Amino acid sequence: MPTAAPAPVRQLDADHIAELTAVAAELLDAHGSATHPALLAGLPAARARLGPALHHALRPVDTADGLFVLRGLHVDDAELGPTPDHWSSVGRAGAHWDVVLLLVSALMGTPIAWDGQQDGRFVHNIVPSPGHETIQTGASSSVLLTPHTEDAFHPGRAHLLLLCCMRNHDRIATTAASIRRTGLSEEDVAELTRPVAPILPDDAYEEAQRFGGRPAPVPTLFAGEGGLTLRFDPAYTPIDRATDSWRAAYDRLQDQLARVSVAVSLQPGDVLVVDNDLVVHGRVPFTARYDGTDRWLKRASVRVPGRRTRPEAEAVEHGYGQAALEAWAG
């Protein structure tokens, strides 16, 4: 089980919050929606208007923990409206927070989206959905969401994952574990840096699951800048044809990640920032009520330009036909 050790916190002060939310409100007033192309194209200019202190506070993850909680923003529960029971029915609920999250993302890098997920939106809504209780996606509830790298199947996956809490009355925990806090042996590291098993697209990518190309094996571990990084999604990794020694090392990796895992119960307004190259994340099981009070997160994905944390061989992967979209060109 995850430990009770607290996640590192970066506290935004009142001036930071006023500056960030004022620019977000201006963008939303001007364009009406976080999905508007002009709003997305205008993010670099909006980012440039924000002061150096806010730029520093919203720098990417820079510790071996591979995560931090950004705290200080406030969500009005009554104003937010009920938790929807599917991402497609959110409408304009929480639209201001979509733009806030995009601004935070833009300060850390370049927000990305996917053609095949949530209609190409740059901010996803993560809510429990009827009929999805037991699948391994963010719409599940009654099962453990297995710790994983976000979009592990794709070479263009995000470097950073941002989860902004809208509602969490039941204090349902997100789990997280950094590869750099584990104690794997040199032998296990050597075993897992070999490309042995592929990682398949998860159930949120139906089109990718129908892709006709042959799945290629990928390394689980890689010696990147500053230490080990990982690419890990056991729920979508067919390991039955791997060697006994590789499977044993993979099992020990799972055990080590479980040993160093932390549980983060986000409060409304909290933004959990996860380094997707260092940290696997998941979620504990819970019982969804579907009464408008269930847990609700908003999710953004970010690439950090110039980062060198992945094998060069990833450049030739087909990505199961999925194309990542960038919020702005250049």
Strands 110-114 and 262-264: unpaired
| 178 DSSP β-pair partners | 279
Task: With beta carbons less than 8 A apart as the criterion, state whether 275 and 230 touch.
Answer: no
Whether 298 is in a domain gets the answer yes
Pick the range with the lowest mean pLDDT from 47-51, 112-116, 223-227, 289-293. Answer: 223-227
Task: With beta carbons less than 8 A apart as the criterion, state whether 159 and 122 touch.
Answer: no
Whether 211 is in a domain gets the answer no
pTM above 0.85, yes or no: yes
Structure tokens at 166: 């809208």
Whether 138 is in a domain gets the answer yes
The CA-atom distances, in angstroms, between 190 and each of 179, 184, 213, 215, 249 are 14, 10, 28, 22, 9
Residue in the block written with tokens 């020990």: 252
* CA distance linking residue 282 with residue 87, whole number of Å: 19
Q: What SS3 class is residue 116?
A: coil
- Give the range of the structural domain holding residue 290, as residue numbers without chain letter: 9-176+266-326
Q: How many domains does the chain have?
A: 1
Whether 224 is in a domain gets the answer no
285 phi/psi in degrees, rounded to 5: -70, 155
* CA distance linking residue 273 with residue 60, whole number of Å: 8
Please list, in sequence order, all residues whose beta carbon lies within 8 angstroms of the beta carbon of residue 114, skipping any fewer than 6 positions away. 120, 151, 205, 322, 323, 324, 325
Whether 227 is in a domain gets the answer no
pLDDT classification of 329: cutoffs 50, 70, 90: confident
pLDDT of 182: 96
Strands 221-224 and 271-275: unpaired
Tens of pLDDT, residues 164-181: 999 999 999 999 999 999
Report the CATH number that the domain containing residue 115 is assigned in CATH. Answer: 3.60.130.10
The CA-atom distances, in angstroms, between 55 and each of 12, 52, 232 are 11, 5, 31
Indicate if the pLDDT at residue 115 is higher than 50. yes
Detail the DSSP E strand segments found in the chain. 9-11, 67-71, 110-114, 124-126, 145-148, 160-167, 174-178, 221-224, 227-230, 262-264, 271-275, 279-283, 296-303, 324-326
Quote the mean pLDDT of the chain: 94
Pick the range with the lowest mean pLDDT from 99-108, 136-145, 286-295. Answer: 136-145
Tens of pLDDT, residues 42-87: 999 999 999 999 999 999 999 999 999 999 999 999 999 999 999 8
Question: Which amino acid is it at 278?
Answer: L
Tens of pLDDT, residues 206-250: 899 999 989 999 999 999 778 999 999 999 999 998 999 999 999
Whether 16 is in a domain gets the answer yes
Q: What SS3 class is residue 35?
A: coil
Task: Quickly count helices (H) and strands (E) in the chain.
Answer: 9, 14
* CA distance linking residue 321 with residue 23, whole number of Å: 36
Give the chain's radius of gyration (CA, Å): 19
Task: With beta carbons less than 8 A apart as the criterion, state whether 317 and 213 touch.
Answer: no
